[in-house]
């Protein structure tokens, strides 16, 4: 990956149930980073997809009276539908049932085996089907249960293939210590180093009598490749490894955005496998926290699963931006956040409908009233560099995955513009005939709105396009593909005719927001 390219991936989702806000949280954050990097002028490759093999999928399909492939084909469409609704700009949706992925997994297996890093051993241990991994007593809670799935693992005795993970322990420790930022947030890097202290070799296959739904082990038809070699390899398959070397060399290494619950696999297992296969390590692994529902972990058994479509229907959302904005601002990315419907409604109304929406509406109304709908000529405002320091802070926040801070800084500019209007009272300036002072004020606020539209576009692309259109631009913001430098180096042109079209977002639960439902 060069300075001008950027490869970012999400974890691939297990297809034993439909997508919910927890899935959406990670995918939206990754999309925000992809969009931001495009604003910086980089060529971006964004990968997401589904993890389709293993016991959970096999059992879920059986319970539904379907084959595993029929089940996964059906669920994949639900994920794609959700990601389309949330306006994700991924470049490939990879499935671990894709033909090229089978070929890559088999190739990597042979390569690691030839190096002596995979060998067959008899094994007896505890297996958690929910985690799709063997666990030890220290991984369990006081009741002897998996803390993630609240059930006891089963005791399994099999002859499986093992990967010599312990062989790479010191190399991974050294890499983490010598490369600050390889694992983020920083406290997660400390967790990984602690995990490495007692790392052991890992089982990388299951007998076909235990798991038949998966990629067969090369040259051993009785064994199926265990989930982590299969699942993790998607990151190199998705970017052309062994199939399009030019693409692979152009974009690899990757930035992996994952949940904190799979940090061990991405920060220990995956680097070790790559070292074994002699592939460069990822650039970065960022482990985010969970989105809880009313402070409780999302769980089918608890019955608190909320999907993006639940919110779309409940609030009659005109577009997905309220969901995108709320999830990116509910907590610092990297920490846990909690979704509640009341908080969602309050924050979206306060920040987007009231603060930003009202600023745009009142500014355009006054532009129509005082300047015949045209952007006035300013003598004293400094077009394009009104808030340079603030723009740099926003950029730094995005670069640090601090989407909450980025949004807060952008909304501070909106607050500032609203305060300018309230303090300087354009209606009074007009009455007193201070037309140049009025022109300077209105130009400054219109220019601020232009800057806000660009800066907020990674998070709220639809609303940013709407602001852009109402400011009078003919081409949409997304079609123009502006650059971050345009925020300071360009400006709204005097004489441009604004295009007031009403609220960019009706207040949630208002009469207007529910109008379609009432019809």
Active site residues: 20, 23, 128, 131, 146, 149, 297, 300
- Between CA 170 and CA 275 the distance in angstroms is 12
Q: What share of the chain is helix, strand, coil (3-state, %, to 5)?
A: 50, 15, 35
Rg, Å, the chain Cα set: 26
Instruction: Please measure the distance between the N-terminal and C-terminal CA atoms of the chain and give it in whole angstroms.
Output: 52
Task: Collect all residues with Cβ–Cβ distance below 8 Å to 57 and sequence separation of at least 6.
Answer: 14, 15, 16, 68, 71, 72, 213
Residue whose C-alpha is closest to residue 380's, from 472, 335, 443 = 443
- Between CA 303 and CA 185 the distance in angstroms is 31
CA distances from 9 to 29, 180, 284, 329 (A): 11, 20, 11, 21
Tokens of 236: 């190199």
Handedness of CA 474, 475, 476, 477 (dihedral sign): negative
- Between CA 22 and CA 299 the distance in angstroms is 10
Residue whose C-alpha is closest to residue 410's, from 367, 341, 344, 463 = 463
Contact (Cβ atoms closer than 8 angstroms) between residue 405 and residue 348: no
Residue whose C-alpha is closest to residue 239's, from 230, 229, 252 = 252
């Amino acid at each position: 990956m060069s300075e001008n390219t950027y490869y970012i991936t999400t974890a691939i989702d297990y297809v034993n149930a439909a997508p919910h806000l927890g899935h959406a949280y990670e995918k939206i954050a990754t999309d925000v980073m992809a969009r931001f990097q495009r604003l910086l002028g980089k060529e971006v490759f964004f990968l997401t997809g589904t993890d389709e093999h293993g016991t959970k999928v096999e059992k879920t399909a059986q319970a539904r009276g379907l084959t595993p492939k029929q089940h996964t084909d059906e669920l994949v469409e639900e994920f794609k539908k959700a990601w389309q609704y949330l306006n994700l700009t991924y470049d490939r949706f990879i499935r671990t049932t894709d033909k090229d992925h089978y070929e890559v997994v088999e190739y990597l297996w042979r390569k690691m085996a030839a190096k002596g890093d995979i060998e067959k051993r008899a094994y007896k241990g505890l297996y958690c089907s929910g985690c799709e991994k063997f666990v030890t007593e220290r991984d369990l809670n006081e009741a002897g249960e998996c803390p993630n799935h609240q059930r006891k693992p089963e005791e399994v005795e099999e002859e499986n293939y093992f990967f010599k993970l312990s062989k790479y322990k010191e190399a991974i420790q050294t890499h983490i210590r010598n490369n600050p930022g390889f694992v983020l947030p920083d406290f997660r890097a400390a967790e990984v180093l602690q995990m490495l202290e007692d790392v052991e070799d890992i089982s990388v296959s299951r007998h076909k009598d235990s798991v038949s739904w998966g990629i067969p082990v090369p040259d051993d038809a009785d064994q199926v490749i265990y989930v982590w070699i299969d699942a993790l390899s998607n990151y190199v398959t998705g970017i052309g490894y062994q199939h399009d070397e030019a693409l692979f060399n152009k974009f690899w290494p990757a930035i992996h955005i994952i949940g904190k619950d799979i940090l061990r696999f991405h920060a220990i297992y995956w680097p070790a496998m790559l070292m074994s296969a002699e592939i460069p390590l990822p650039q970065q692994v960022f482990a985010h926290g969970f989105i809880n529902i009313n402070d409780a972990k999302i769980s089918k058994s608890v019955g608190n699963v909320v999907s993006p479509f639940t919110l779309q229907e409940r609030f009659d959302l005109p577009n997905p931006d309220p969901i995108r904005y709320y999830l990116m601002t509910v907590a610092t990315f990297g920490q846990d956040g909690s979704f509640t419907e009341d908080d969602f409604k309050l924050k979206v109304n306060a920040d987007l409908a009231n603060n930003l929406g009202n600023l745009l509406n009142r500014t355009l109304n006054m532009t129509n009233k005082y300047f015949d709908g045209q952007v006035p000529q300013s003598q004293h405002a400094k077009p394009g560099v009104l808030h340079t320091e603030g723009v740099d802070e926003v950029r730094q926040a995005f670069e640090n995955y601090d989407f909450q801070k980025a949004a807060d800084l952008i909304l501070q500019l909106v607050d500032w513009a609203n305060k300018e209007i309230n303090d300087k009272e354009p209606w009074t300036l007009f009455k007193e005939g201070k037309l140049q002072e009025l022109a300077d004020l209105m130009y400054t606020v219109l220019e601020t709105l232009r800057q806000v539209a660009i800066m907020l576009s990674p998070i709220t692309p639809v609303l940013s396009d709407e602001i852009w259109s109402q400011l009078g631009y003919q081409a949409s913001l997304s079609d123009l593909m502006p650059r971050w430098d345009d925020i300071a180096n360009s400006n709204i042109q005097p004489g441009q005719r604004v295009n007031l079209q009403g609220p960019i977002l009706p207040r949630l639960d208002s009469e207007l927001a529910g109008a379609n439902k009432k019809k």
